[in-house]
């Protein structure tokens, strides 16, 4: 069974519908007992970094999510669910993340680092863009390199561990668009909204 963790941050139904379409049992839950007994964990998220970590804590889910990830269960973070796996987020302040990966989550195009090539590029980065695969992440099985996927985000991670970068994407800069280490995979984009390529990624996760 796949547990899609509902901690009050974003639309979790689309992920559940995608797994159901693929034939996988997936429940949406904020019940710690359900999360603990699940075979696989999906941590989605839309919204602010700090509020996401705070909500996990309030619902008694933060420790369970960390234990699941560290304990070897297949684990998939999506969008903000990827960002909060890092050490620190800089969205509307400075907030500690879950610390599963070393690095910061920062905003696109800070004014103090202005570059002419950023003119005309929008924040949030929204819509379809290319992912270039950088590793043998299990999500990529059967997915062509430079597949198009769907993004909605204003912040992106700066991993300290280059080996954790599973893909990159360009939006004014080349940024890390997914990560992978052992059982933990996470995407800045939304696989559940990314057509055939995204469904293939979810199939690969469900089959682990």
Which pLDDT tens digits describe the chain residue by residue (208 residues)?
Answer: 999 999 987 778 999 999 999 999 999 999 999 999 999 999 998 889 999 999 999 999 999 999 999 999 999 999 999 999 999 999 888 899 999 999 999 999 887 777 877 888 899 999 999 999 999 999 999 999 999 999 999 999 999 999 999 999 999 999 999 999 999 999 999 999 999 999 999 999 999 9
Determine the topology of domain 2-206 in CATH. Answer: Rossmann fold (3.40.50)
Q: Quick one: which of 106, 91, 176, 191 has its CA closest to 140?
A: 191
Q: Which positions are annotated as active-site residues?
A: 79, 190, 192
DSSP 127: E
Q: Where are the domains of the chain?
A: 2-206
Question: With left for phi above 0 and alpha for psi between -120 and 50, is residue 23 left, alpha or beta?
Answer: left
Please give the model's pTM, rounded to 2 decimal places. Answer: 0.94
DSSP assignment of 147-207? EEEEEEESEEEEES-GGGEEEEEESSSEEEEEEEETTEEEESS-GGGSHHHHHHHHHHHHT
Cβ neighbours around 178 below 10 Å, total: 29
Say how far apart CA 18 and CA 196 lie, in whole Å. Answer: 11
């Amino acid at each position: 069974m796949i547990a899609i963790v509902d901690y009050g941050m974003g639309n979790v139904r689309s992920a559940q519908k995608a797994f159901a379409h693929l034939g996988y049992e997936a429940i949406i839950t904020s019940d710690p007992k359900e999360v603990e007994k699940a075979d696989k964990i999906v941590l989605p998220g839309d919204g602010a970094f700090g509020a996401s970590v705070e909500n996990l804590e309030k619902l008694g889910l933060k420790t369970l999510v960390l234990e699941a990830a560290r304990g070897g269960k297949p684990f998939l973070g999506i969008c903000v669910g990827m960002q909060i796996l890092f050490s620190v987020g800089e969205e509307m302040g400075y907030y500690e993340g879950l610390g599963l990966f070393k690095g910061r989550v920062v905003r696109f195009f800070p004014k103090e680092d202005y570059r002419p090539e950023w003119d005309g590029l929008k924040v949030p980065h929204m819509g379809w863009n290319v992912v270039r695969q950088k590793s043998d992440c299990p999500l990529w099985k059967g997915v062509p390199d430079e597949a198009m996927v769907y993004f909605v985000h204003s912040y992106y991670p700066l991993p300290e561990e280059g080996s954790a970068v599973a893909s990159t994407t360009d939006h004014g800069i080349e940024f890390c668009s997914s990560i992978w280490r052992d059982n933990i995979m996470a995407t800045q984009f939304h696989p559940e909204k990314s057509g055939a390529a995204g469904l293939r990624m979810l199939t690969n996760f469900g089959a682990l």
